[in-house]
Amino acid sequence: MKMQMIAAMPGDIAPARRLEAETGLPLVEIDIHAFPDGESLVRAPGAAETVIVYCSLDRPNQKLVELGLAVSALRDLGARRLVLVAPYLCYMRQDKAFHEGEAVAQRFIGALLAGWFDRVVTIEPHLHRVKSLDDVMPGTETAALSAADLLAQMILADGAPEEALLVGPDAESRAWTAAVAKATGAPFIVLQKERSGDREVEISLPKDADIKGRRIYLVDDIISTGATLAAAARLLRAGGAGRVEAVAVHAFFSEADEKTMKEAGLARVRSTDSVAHRTNAAAVAPLLAKALKEDRR
């Protein structure tokens, strides 16, 4: 039996191939047959002592069941150590019951994945009140990687314009906006956000913000509906900012959302390939490969 291999879930073949190229590890593709009644037949074509399962968990509800079945198949084939590479880790935002009766999704999903995997590697998980992924997945090794350098490289590729100003759209974005600002050498500010619905957000500028004529790079971890960035772009353009664009780690938004963002004044959006999206402009494979190399087992 081989020592290590990558097993890619069907939706992750392309980025897993990039990880294969970075690591030199062999790759197998997990095969899934969809039964007419909606159930799935999951088959692993082989295993190794350590299997790195590549499965980004955007649109996760079906993926989670199929991932669990893949884990079961790999263990049956003799895999001893399973490492999940999930560049996007789902359900991390619901970290408490905001209203009585709500499931704490972060705790549930964390425990589920911790039961399946010996190590979980992800990028910029949306942690808020819980500070460490170790607390979300007790008993499992975790690596929560920063994508700050990848986002910084996108900005630096524009020649690090002097008038650049990095803008975090809400208080939660402060940490990653500060990290990207440090890596680019550009200044940054953080806006204030009030959310009243899935697509209803209100954004305001801090009192002393000087945005006139600045080239704005909005920096966010997730673009889901794009409502946050659309509201931010509208506000910044109305306040006299120059070109407004965005860099983000995980992009999910639809073409209709993109149109709304464009109309709001957002000139361009670039994202990493943590989730396959037409705005992908940077590969996360080198970042993941480095984290896997640091896994001494």
Please state the closest distance from residue 236 (CB atom) to ligand R5P, in A: 15
Active site annotation includes 193? yes
Residue whose tokens read 């204030």: 192
- Interface with ligand R5P, residue 172, by CB under 6 A: yes
CA distance 137 to 159: 40
CA distance 217 to 131: 26
Which residue in the set 50, 122, 142, 228 belongs to the binding site for ligand R5P (CB under 6 A)?
Answer: 228
- CA atoms within 13 A of residue 268's CA, in its CB half-sphere: 13
For ligand R5P, which is the closer residue by CB, 44 or 152? 152
Please state the closest distance from residue 126 (CB atom) to ligand R5P, in A: 6
Q: Are 258 and 269 within 8 A, CB to CB?
A: yes
By C-alpha distance, which of 42, 138, 125 is closest to 85? 125
Which residue in the set 225, 271, 272, 274 belongs to the binding site for ligand R5P (CB under 6 A)?
Answer: 225
- Interface with ligand R5P, residue 20, by CB under 6 A: no
Which residue in the set 57, 169, 179, 258 belongs to the binding site for ligand R5P (CB under 6 A)?
Answer: 169
Please state the closest distance from residue 54 (CB atom) to ligand R5P, in A: 24
Catalytic residue among 2, 182, 193, 212: 193
Which residue in the set 110, 125, 226, 265 belongs to the binding site for ligand R5P (CB under 6 A)?
Answer: 226
- String of contacts with ligand R5P for each residue 129-168, x by CB under 6 A: ----------------------------------------
- Interface with ligand R5P, residue 87, by CB under 6 A: no
Which residue in the set 30, 223, 283, 289 belongs to the binding site for ligand R5P (CB under 6 A)?
Answer: 223
By C-alpha distance, which of 78, 83, 86 is closest to 25? 83
Helix (H, G, I), strand (E, B) or coil at 35: coil
Residue whose tokens read 């990039």: 18
Q: How many residues does the chain have?
A: 297
Please state the closest distance from residue 35 (CB atom) to ligand R5P, in A: 33
The CB density around residue 163, as the number of other CB atoms within 10 Å, is: 13
Which residue in the set 222, 236, 244, 284 belongs to the binding site for ligand R5P (CB under 6 A)?
Answer: 222
Q: Are 30 and 78 within 8 A, CB to CB?
A: no
How many residues in the shown chain lie near ligand R5P by CB under 6 A?
A: 14
Contacts by 26-32 with C-beta closer than 8 Å and gap 24+? 26/2, 30/66, 30/70, 30/73, 32/66
- Interface with ligand R5P, residue 114, by CB under 6 A: no
The CB density around residue 68, as the number of other CB atoms within 10 Å, is: 15
For ligand R5P, which is the closer residue by CB, 30 or 269? 269
Helices (H), ranges, the chain = 13-23, 60-76, 105-116, 133-136, 148-156, 174-184, 227-238, 255-263, 285-293
Please state the closest distance from residue 221 (CB atom) to ligand R5P, in A: 5
For ligand R5P, which is the closer residue by CB, 81 or 199? 199
Please state the closest distance from residue 201 (CB atom) to ligand R5P, in A: 6
Residue whose tokens read 């899934």: 32
Indicate which residues carry an active-site annotation: 193
- Interface contacts to ligand R5P, rule CB under 6 A: 169-170, 172-173, 201, 220-228
